[in-house]
Amino acid sequence: MAEESILTDDFLRELMNVGEVDILIGVPTLNDAATVGQVVQCIRTGLLKYFPRQRAAIVNVDGGSRDSTQDLVRAASISDLAAGTNPNALRTLHSISTSSAGSTENGAALHTIVAAADLVRATTCAIVSPNSTSIEPEWIDRLLRPVSRDNFDLVTPIYRRHKFDGLLVRNLVYPMTRAVYCKRVREPHPSEIAFSGKLASHFLEQDIWSQPATENGAETYLVIAAITGGFRLAQSFLGPKPRVDHSSGDLVLAMRQTVGVLFWALGKNFPACPANVAEEVPVMGQQADVSLEPIRVNRKRLHQMFVHGVAELQPVLDSILSSSTLAELIQAAGTPEDKFRYSDELWVRTVYEFAGAYHREVISPDHVIQALAPLYRGKTYMFLVENRDASGEEVEKNVENLCLAFERLKPYLLEVWDGRK
Amino acid sequence: MWELMVAQLTQATREIVGSTARFLPHLLEMLLIVFVGWIIAYLLRHILRSVLRLMGLDRMSEHAGAAQLLNKAALPAPSELLSRLAFWLAWLGFILIGISVLGIVGMQEHISSFFGFLPRLFAGLFLLFIGLLAASFFSRAALLAAVNADLPSPRLVSSTIRVLMVVFTISMCFEELGLAAHTVLVAFTLVFGALMLGLAIAFGLGGQDLARRYLEGKFIYDKVKTEERDELSHL
Amino acid sequence: MALQHDLLWYKDAIIYQVHVRTFYDSNGDGIGEFRGLAQKLDYLQELGVNAIWLMPFFPSPLRDDGYDIADYRSVHSSYGTLEDFKVFLDAAHERDIRVIVEMVLNHTSDQHPWFQESRSSRDNPRRDWYVWSETDTRYRGVRIIFTDTELSNWAWDPVSKEYYWHRFFNHQPDLNYDNPVVREEMWQIMKFWAEMGVDGFRLDAVPYLVEREGTSCENLPETHAVLKELRARLDKEYPGKMLLAEANQWPADLRPYFANGDEFHMAFHFPLMPRMFMGLKLEDRKPITEILQQTPAIPENCQWCLFLRNHDELTLEMVTDMERDYMYDEYAKDKNMRINVGIRRRLAPLLDNDRRRIELMNGMLLSLPGTPIIYYGDEIGMGDNVKLGDRNGVRTPMQWDGGWNGGFSSADPESLYSPIMLNPVYGYQAVNVQSQKRFDHSLLSWMKRIIKVRKSMPVFGRGTMEFLYPANHRVLAYIRELGKERILAVNNLSSSAQVVELDLKKYKGEILIEMFGKNIFPRVTDRPYLLTMGPYQFYWFRLRKI
């Protein structure tokens, strides 16, 4: 009996019709009808403008949308059928859609996209988020060109972001990825990413697809796999990242997608890089840009959730953290808000001890991640306070200092990893 | 008379010696069985301990928090505990077999019913262990979820879940062991029902505000409290 | 005359385009002539073509390969006499081969006696046989056709001190069709040849006959009126003679040349040709299907003329800038290959001498709706010489065998009208008729077979066409239908094997018979019809209901 495949028969048939392509752009969706139409039209325009001679295909992997998401994607096709004809296009452009084999997890979508890219032998691949409402046709050029023309294997984006955007990435994911893997990749959990066919095939062969850790954060693992696999990396400035509203409940999901994957991946590659200083990764276009317009921030609530979390989760934290770190956190939680301090060093030790606990599975790994959330809120509060009136450069400088702290304390990670400390 | 006494004493002594002589082989047999049984139980303990460690039972128990539980009770790790239990049970079995060899009237029946009871005992103990593990895991999961969702009284929620699951587990164990099954079942139902009723009353009347705040937070939070929401994004 | 009288014979024609000069030299002067051409008619009959289109053979200074005519009623001395032409014509008719001659209506050579008289003075009776002007500012904005050599559509005549209008080379002054005498004279010329027995006329450069201020001077209503008049007179006096328009225009602009079936019988479908090459390189049928979707329906008694290559450059006038750049980059990397707005190469070199691609392109040529034209030499895969000036690189002598001058002429090689191809790939020793006749698998043998198959069913020439749009865009598939005759043509434009599923539900129950091997393929059902195809492979199926 044949093994179950992630590619349905209908999708395979569509891939046969697409045939070999030079460029494949994957768009994973789930009920994104509000935004996906604009995004795929932009992708289409970008392909026609910057890669008019290349054979290209847009592949949508849908997690079970109940709206018109899939139809909107299919409408981006350019063909000789009367409805789709486009005299400005030299070639047919297939825009096809499939469902990810009964799963709504993002990892399944990425798996399908990578498998499709491998089958149609795409030399340049990309994933674009269906929510990127600030996307422009130029993004396609900026993302794909380093792969298709300059032979890079992975291109991660650099955005213009508000100084209070991407806090988890700024305060944990980027600094830790940089310290552990010695590469300065600003967006280790990218919404847009480009990679070579060679990397896609390498990624497809990894035995990670059935792991719970990659169900939701496969893009993060893609970046890590590229770094550990010795592939050529680049970063490309795209433009402003659209701001997505999150409720507090999404923080745990966000942490699973990033921190969970990061910790899990560390277990596969430990110690990933012996050096203590991270290498630069070439940047195409400008460096990261920070916007400063005022936004609504509820710092008090963050502080309260930190204090509340430390108090309520003490028994759990006890099995994760060292007694000294826990004592410092308890002390910080007991301090009045106006005197609250959560130093970079304490934060780094917290994170490293959590990483070690995750690896040793002192409790369920997912519970380790959930237990980190209140502590991250405390660090976020600290970040907001320190950068309240900071300029873009000052914010970047503070982030850089945090990164240096992660790098400096790397030997501590080595100590706590196996529970020696 | 004296000769009669001597003759009777001699007769009695002869009978005692004879009984003792007839009993001794059985005794020796029993001692041998007990000794062999000890060796087998000892080997079983070591083998079982290795197998359980290889299976990762200790690690799994740590996940579920059972390790902490046992630690608090000054009990050793699960693999050690189970292997020791197996040792004692096995040796006890052999002791009972040895006793049966002595041929004491009435003993056979008791021994048989004891052995018949053993599987249910094991099942009951297994249920208890699993139940405790699950209670620990889910109570911690509830605690973490409640803390991250900023719900009030997360420890109350966590403890409630733990207690309910433990009570449920114990009642299942008693039912499995057949000890006052009906009584326990009825008692459990009464207690569980009373607890639920109590919670409903407390929640409905005494905790109206809490309930309202909770429901608002779940369904109306987005509309009503927009001005309190921040515009931060984490990714 | 052995020819059957059929007013619509041109719909079933397979036309062979040849210049008499290039084909066969029978008198050893290095130039082909009509006696030689007549001697090779058996070859053409064996090939299977049933019409010959002769390029201009009139007396001419030959500054534009004979399109600069100096006498419309005679034959250039290098090609023989009028009597030789008549002998050739009769011999062709005996073999059921019709003959189509060129009629360059738009302009003459500046050596033509008419122009010599016209320019001699402003009062000459033939002055207004041509378009004169005191300034070169009239008809401003009209595009120049020969962009590589001409800077203006006006040329200064030092004799009569005025400008004369020329849409082509400056030595080809345009005739003035506003002059009824000119129109009558041109009719008389056509009548001359029709009376002799030619079966049709290819009218060269017809869009440009009439000029009007403030217009593009192309495709004007007055031009159509002239042409309609010619057609009416031809139909009246010589029914069954055919008029073929040479008008390099978009399909929508070509449509008026058919009018209501009372102007031209046929017109070249110029825009389709580069798109066939484009589709092949892109491995995508989109350019081909889109241009045919935009092609308007034409009257029942009219027909498109299809071709792959001809004596001119592969024109890229009727494509977008992006498409032109693509074609140049893919087919003419060497800038020597580019001329005017096109590529001066033959079929085989354009297709890298790839037999499969040559067969595929010919397969499409012979199955798409229209009358196909085969350019001489392409049936054996002749090459080109881009070092020869203008478009002479695709007009080299026909290669008959591996001997002296490729069997074209017994003259000294230096005396040939053009050097013969010598290189090891396309030279006459590698590519010639005699060697290809010996083998069943040669290109020539294959061409004979496919022409035979095409002629076996009228549906190719007279049937309708409906595209199938399989999801695999690398496959071009269409149904040709005429009454109960039905053909399915499937073409794999890709260099790799392909799978295609065709929606043939409409023809459920019919059996597919492959037309070359005549083997049976599975019956059509409700389910998609699955075909697997090798690189550049094509199928012709006949659909039969039994």
Cβ-Cβ contacts under 8 Å for A83 (sequence gap 6 or more): none
In chain C, the residue whose alpha carbon lies closest to the alpha carbon of A52 is C322
Residue of A13, A50, A80 for testing the chain C interface, max C β-carbons within 10 Å: A80
Radius of gyration of chain B from its Cα atoms, rounded to whole angstroms:
30
CB contact A94 to C (< 8 Å): yes
Partners for B (CB, 8 Å, 3+ pairs)?
Answer: A
Asked if A17 and C284 come within 8 Å (Cβ–Cβ), the reply is: no
The domains located in chain B, with CATH, are 26-104 (no CATH), 120-220 (1.10.287.1260)
- Who among B62, B228, B235 is closest to A298 (CB)? B228
CB contact B182 to A (< 8 Å): no
Cα C104 to Cα A173, C70, C172, C190: the distances in Å are: 78, 11, 11, 11
The minimum CA-CA distance between A273 and chain C, rounded to whole Å, is 44
Radius of gyration of chain A from its Cα atoms, rounded to whole angstroms:
22
Q: Do C9-106+180-455 and C113-165 fold alike per CATH?
A: no
| A to B CB pairs, distance under 8 Å | 101
pLDDT by residue (tens digit) across B93-104? 888 888 888 777
- C246 is known as an active-site residue: yes
Q: Report whether CATH 3.40.50.2300 matches the domain C9-106+180-455.
A: no
Q: Where are the domains of chain C?
A: 9-106+180-455, 113-165, 463-544
The domains located in chain A, with CATH, are 9-291 (3.90.550.10), 299-417 (no CATH)
Q: Which fold has domain C463-544?
A: Immunoglobulin-like (2.60.40)
The residues with which A124 forms a beta bridge, in sequence order, are A23, A196
Cβ-Cβ contacts under 8 Å for C308 (sequence gap 6 or more): C273, C276, C347, C361, C362, C365, C375, C378
The minimum CA-CA distance between C535 and chain A, rounded to whole Å, is 13
- Who among B63, B145, B234 is closest to A251 (CB)? B234
* Contacts A251 to B, Cβ<8 Å: 148, 234
- Tokens 């310290």 sit at which residue? A179
pLDDT by residue (tens digit) across C142-158? 999 888 789 999 999 99
The residues with which C337 forms a beta bridge, in sequence order, are none
Superfamily of domain C113-165: Oligo-1,6-glucosidase; Domain 2 (3.90.400.10)
Asked if C293 and A87 come within 8 Å (Cβ–Cβ), the reply is: no
- Who among B140, B222, B231 is closest to A363 (CB)? B140
In sign, the C-alpha dihedral spanning C227, C230, C234, C236 is positive
The answer to whether the CB of A243 falls within 8 A of the CB of B233 is: yes
Asked if B140 and A361 come within 8 Å (Cβ–Cβ), the reply is: no
C64, C68, C162, C246: which one is catalytic?
Answer: C246
CB contact A418 to B (< 8 Å): no
Separation CA C107–CA C169 (nearest Å): 10
Q: What does the pLDDT profile of chain A (421 residues) look like in tens digits?
A: 445 678 888 899 999 999 999 999 999 998 899 999 999 999 999 999 999 999 999 999 998 888 899 999 998 888 887 555 677 899 999 999 998 865 666 788 899 999 999 999 999 999 999 988 899 999 999 999 999 999 999 999 999 988 888 899 999 999 999 999 999 999 999 999 999 999 999 999 888 887 777 777 888 999 999 999 999 999 999 998 876 655 445 888 889 889 999 999 998 877 778 777 889 999 998 877 777 777 777 888 889 999 999 999 998 999 899 999 999 999 999 998 888 999 999 999 999 999 999 998 888 899 999 999 999 999 999 999 998 888 888 999 999 999 999 999 999 998 898 776 5
* Contacts B222 to A, Cβ<8 Å: 247
- Helix, strand or coil for residue A197? helix
* Contacts C467 to A, Cβ<8 Å: 80
* Contacts A167 to B, Cβ<8 Å: 232-234
The answer to whether the CB of C502 falls within 8 A of the CB of C512 is: no
Share of chain B above pLDDT 90, in %: 8
Residue B202 per-residue DSSP state: I
CB contact A9 to C (< 8 Å): no
- Helix, strand or coil for residue C375? strand
Q: From the CB coordinates, do chains C and B have 3 or more pairs under 8 Å?
A: no
pLDDT at B72 over 60: no
Separation CA A314–CA A323 (nearest Å): 11
CB atoms within 10 A of CB C496: 13
The answer to whether the CB of A378 falls within 8 A of the CB of A343 is: no
* Contacts A364 to B, Cβ<8 Å: 63-64, 137, 140
* Contacts A49 to C, Cβ<8 Å: none
C68, C204, C218, C379: which one is catalytic?
Answer: C204
Residue of A220, A370, A383, A387 for testing the chain B interface, max B β-carbons within 10 Å: A370
Q: Going edge to edge, which strands form the sheet with C485-492?
A: C464-468, C475-482, C485-492, C538-544, C511-514, C520-523
The residues with which C541 forms a beta bridge, in sequence order, are C488, C514
Cβ-Cβ contacts under 8 Å for C90 (sequence gap 6 or more): C197
Reported in sequence order, the residue ranges of A56-178 that DSSP labels E, i.e. its strands, are: 56-62, 94-99, 124-127, 154-162
pLDDT at C415 over 70: yes
pLDDT by residue (tens digit) across B174-231? 888 777 667 666 766 777 787 787 777 766 666 666 666 666 566 544 444 555 566 6
Task: Say whether the ipTM exceeds 0.85.
Answer: no
